[in-house]
A = this chain, B = another copy of it.
Amino acid sequence: MRNNKVDPENVDQKLFEIFRSVGYDGASMESLSQATGLKKASLYHRFPNGKQEMAQHVLKNVEQWINDNIVTVLADKAISPSIRLKKAISSLGKLYNNGANNCLLRTLSIGPDAGIFKETVTHCFNLITQSFTELLIEAGLPGSEAKKKANLINPLLQGALVLSGATGDNSHFENCLDNIGQFLQTTN
């Protein structure tokens, strides 16, 4: 007898969780199969190019998430800049589970095959920097200063996630979100 059809979104989510938590090399087909509830051959039915395609797929989902939760939110001129900021930062806190979750952009950037994902990963980072830059400019900062501040957001986030993840102490990440919120508060 055969299992019920597996919800594709749930599959995406489970693939994402595996790749994010253990990276590309640490994610075996067996672990991906167990997490999704699909046999290996079924995964190959959905992703004919295998593991690579799965990782690229979840990476594209992250890019979409950034567009939906950062780019679009920060550019929404119907809301005040400071509230947009809070919404975006709050979304980041949820995405990373307050520091308990690794970042897929980072875990896919290590290992012999990291080059495959480099272009998309770089684009994701750029999306974040650019949308924060534009918000800060809109809030009144000079372009150069806005750029300088926005350029700090990704490294601050990633650094905090590295420390929280490596040590298990999420205070690194929580402090980081607070700091980012404060030092961007040039705005109303």
**Copies of chain A in the complex:** 2
Q: A176 to B151, alpha carbons, bound, how many Å?
A: 11
User: How big is chain A's contact interface, by range?
Assistant: 20 to 34
Provide the A74-93 mask, 1 if CB < 8 A to any CB of B, else 0. Answer: 00000000000000000000
Query: Which chain A residues have a beta carbon within 8 Å of chain B's beta carbons?
Result: 22-23, 25-26, 31, 102, 105-107, 109-112, 118, 121-122, 125, 151, 154-160, 162-163, 165-168, 172, 175-176
What residues of chain B lie closer than 8 Å to A109, measured between beta carbons?
Answer: 162, 165-166
Q: How far is the CB of A148 from chain B (nearest CB, A)?
A: 9
Q: A103 to B155, alpha carbons, bound, how many Å?
A: 14
Q: A159-B154, A160-B159 are in contact. Are A111 and B165 (CB under 8 A)?
A: no
What residues of chain B lie closer than 8 Å to A172, measured between beta carbons?
Answer: 155
Q: How far is the CB of A140 from chain B (nearest CB, A)?
A: 23
